[in-house]
Chains A and B, each alone.
Chain A
Amino acid sequence: MFPNYEWLLLLFPLVGVIINGLFGHRLGRRLVAWIACLAVGLSFVVALSLLWAQVQLPAEAEPVKATLYRWMTVGDFTIDLTLLIDPLSVLMAVVVTGVSTVIHVYSVGYMADDKRYSRYFTFLNLFVFSMLVLVLGNNFLMMYVGWEAVGLCSYLLIGFWFERPAAADAGKKAFLVNRIGDFGFALGIMLVFATFGSLDFSTVFSQASALLPRGSELATTMTLLLFLGAVGKSAQIPLYVWLPDAMEGPTPVSALIHAATMVTAGVYMVARNHVLFERAPGAMNVVMLIGLATAFFAATMALTQYDIKRVLAYSTISQLGYMFVAVGVGAYAAGMFHLTTHAFFKALLFLGAGSVMHALSGELDIRKMGGLKDKLPTTYWTFVVGALALAGFPLFSGFFSKDEILWEAWLKAGPIVWVVGLGTAFLTAFYTFRLVFMAFWGKSRLDKKAAAHVHESPPVMTAPLVILAVFAGIAGFVGLPGGLSLIGRFLEPALTTPGVHHAAPVGSTLEWILLVVSAVVSVLGIYLAYHLYVLNPELPKKLSAQFGWLYNLLVRKYYVDEAYMEVIVKPTRELGGFLASDVDRGLIDGIVNGVGRVTAGLAPLFGGMQAGLVREYAFSILIGAAAILGYLILR
């Protein structure tokens, strides 16, 4: 008997928002923290029970739908608030609520001294609620509402410390760049409606093969527009520029929203709409290519960053690229698997970075760190676990998920894509351990002030690190290669398309060979970082001097931000200025004032008729009467 309490998933965070939002400032910090963490924690429990129930369903079972409310009826068209409970949405729900709960607990420690405590937890709960609406919705409209709402929460949380101009600007930038993507997404949804007459997932997907000719312009346009939304939300080329700036927000926010959950919404969306994407092979190629390019270029940008959070931000962009490569070649389960493992290890890395920053009173420049591995043992060891997972070191979670993607890429897109992916993996291992060695190893380069206060974080912050480290370590084993993937089998009912033959996953020698190659590459990357940052610390400086032009190009992030500023931001501002002064003040105000002036000018003319002379009035009456009489008589 499938549970019918799915709506609780949404209810708990919503209650948390209402209570903390309206009464938070009166409740005291402990109560606020408990309410917020309980809200997400209870949702997590519900999600787990739904997962358990879903696992026990046979693979051919219809996905469960829970209709909550009839939202609107316009003529023939109705939209209901319906939750779709199938393997894909349940997986996302578990990941979102699980990682959120851990991060909420961590935030209790991290934000303990902040003056807007209840507001922070309100926004965080609101985010969880919105994200759940996004992943559980059964129609495009609910997904879009959730999509926009998480964008709003992202803006609110990035600019949480809004007194800092950098943070306020970063929030604006995130929202505006996202908006560009959302515009495409909205157009895509409208196109879906125009083609199918409905926004309901089951209706649309069942009619996709009938109404969308394979490879047609309609299919390609529709899917590319939907993908544009993903490009914005999931920070792919060219709309990734907001994510590094988003690091201005509190670190738990970066961990939750910009690593584990919100940015993965794009991947989820493509996986959910795989039926539509399979009608447009050209669009899927675009998805894969953009994902691949993003993965590679973001990895190159991470090589030279000095801000601990920015390295992780570019790493996130790069790993999201991997996920899009996966869904772009049709390996949706692989993409979702990487999404899951990435959520664990990237959240872990961000929280670890936050722990380091907390220990060093806010320092985030890795050039000013070093020698921390003995002083911050829990932070160090959990960070290393996360780093090994990210680098794809054998047997950690990232190894299995990344390898799955690379294998599918070789199978379905050819060796060249695999090579680029492999190169990116090498860079990933390198920059990750560059971060580890510069921050934790070697001699201490700390400021005197920071060095005096170095202390390990309190348990409320280190416990989440340990929990995430456990998952980052072992989560890989749900997706073993060679056809043994539990997660693949779990997701299969949600990710197959009727009529499209998905080859059953089968082990092959090539797969094992490529697996070993990935492992070797990962170890090589780690070794290179060791060589450059531990054995020969002077070497990086010499290399960056020797290849100065390349180094500058990377440090300045290929000058993309500057290019956008010149080509898009400045002309738009000038256009805005022009419209404000010349059009609005000049033309429109001119017209309105002009009407006033004309009226004022005509006034004396009509005023003359009312001079107050009684005899004049009498005379006009006489003339009028005579005229009427004359007309009547002479007619």
Chain B
Amino acid sequence: MVPLEYYLALSAVLFCIGVLGVVIRRNAIVLFLCIELMLNAVNLTLIAFGRYLNSIEGQVLVFIVMTVAAAEVAVGLGIIVAIFRGRESVNVDDINLLKG
């Protein structure tokens, strides 16, 4: 058996890479990619715990998270396409109409 800590460490690393990506990258699509990465890191954590605690809840939660992720991607990509149609760029720095 691979020790639990290995799985958790991998998850943590993946999550941090995802967070960094969200904060640093400018392209909206890459932003979404990183968000997916974060979600999948969480999925990994959930599966790992499910395996090591011999409970099925982990896998059920993963189901739910994946569904939500899929829905969110669909909506988000739709928004990005709409924005792209308007301004020919998916640079998030340019989307500042909410500027106060």
- Which residues of A are in contact with B by a Cβ distance under 8 Å? 607, 609-615, 618-619, 622
Cβ-based interface call for B66 (8 A): no
Consensus secondary structure, chain A interface: helix
Question: In the complex, how many angstroms separate the beta carbon of A74 from the nearest chain B beta carbon?
Answer: 54
Docked complex Cα distance between A614 and B26 (Å):
10
User: Which residues of B have CB within 8 Å of A612?
Assistant: 95-100
| B interface bracket (residues with beta carbon within 8 Å of A) | 10 to 19
Residues on the A chain within 8 Å of B19, using CB: 622
Other-chain residue from A610, A619, A622 in contact with B100 (beta carbon distance below 8 A):
A610
Question: Would B23 and A615 count as touching, CB distance under 8 A?
Answer: yes
Pick 22 A–B contacts, CB within 8 A, sort by A. Answer: A609-B100, A610-B98, A610-B99, A610-B100, A611-B96, A611-B100, A612-B97, A612-B98, A612-B99, A613-B92, A613-B96, A614-B92, A614-B95, A614-B96, A615-B24, A615-B26, A615-B92, A615-B93, A618-B22, A618-B23, A619-B23, A622-B22
Q: Which residues of A contact B95 (CB under 8 A)?
A: 612, 614
B26 partner residues in chain A, CB cutoff 8 A = 615
User: Which residues 81-100 in B have Cβ within 8 Å of A in the complex?
Assistant: 92-93, 95-100
A-side contacts of B24, CB under 8 Å: 615
Contacts of A618 in B (CB 8 A): 22-23
B99 partner, pick from A611, A615, A619, A622, beta carbons under 8 A: A611
Complex CA–CA separation, A35 to B49 (angstroms): 102
What is the distance, in angstroms, from B24's C-beta to the closest C-beta of chain A? Answer: 8
Q: Which residues on the A side are within 8 Å of B96 (C-beta)?
A: 611-614
CB distance from B99 to the nearest CB of A (A): 3
CA distance A612 to B92 in the complex (A): 10
In this complex, what residue of A is CB-closest to B26? A615
Chain B CB within 10 Å — which of A607, A611, A612, A622 has the most? Answer: A612
Q: How far is the CA of A614 from the CA of B24 in the complex (A)?
A: 11
**A614→B83 CA distance, assembly (Å):** 14
Q: Report the minimum CB–CB distance from B80 to chain A (whole Å).
A: 12
Residue of A with least CB distance to B98? A612
User: B98: which A residues are within 8 A, CB to CB?
Assistant: 610, 612
In B10-44, which residues have CB < 8 Å from any A CB? 19, 22-24, 26
Given contacts A610-B99, A611-B99, A612-B100, contact A622 B23 (CB under 8 A): yes
Instruction: Give complex CA distance A613, B97 in Å.
Output: 9
Give CA–CA (A622, B20) in the complex, Å: 10
In whole angstroms, what is the CA distance A615 to B97 when docked? 14
Further pairs besides A611-B99, A614-B95: 8, Cβ < 8 Å:
A611-B96, A612-B95, A613-B96, A615-B22, A615-B24, A615-B26, A622-B19, A622-B23
- What residue in chain A is nearest B92 (Cβ atoms)? A614
Query: In the complex, A507→B26 CA distance in Å?
Result: 121
Complex alpha-carbon distance, A135 and B84, angstroms:
90
Q: For the complex, what is the distance from the CA of A612 to the CA of B22, rounded to whole Å?
A: 16
Q: List the A side residues contacting B93 at CB < 8 Å.
A: 613-615
CA–CA, A622 to B95, complex, Å? 20
CA distance A611 to B93 in the complex (A): 10
Q: How far is the CA of A610 from the CA of B99 in the complex (A)?
A: 6
Q: Determine the chain B residues whose CB is within 8 A of the CB of A607 once the complex forms.
A: 100
Q: Report Cα–Cα, A618/B92, bound state, in Å.
A: 11
Complex Cα spacing A609 to B98, Å: 11
Could you tell me the distance in whole angstroms from the C-beta of B52 to the nearest C-beta in chain A? 21
A500 to B96, CA, bound (A): 95
Whole-angstrom distance between the Cβ of A609 and the nearest chain B Cβ: 8
Max chain A Cβ within 10 angstroms of own Cβ: one of B26, B95, B100:
B100
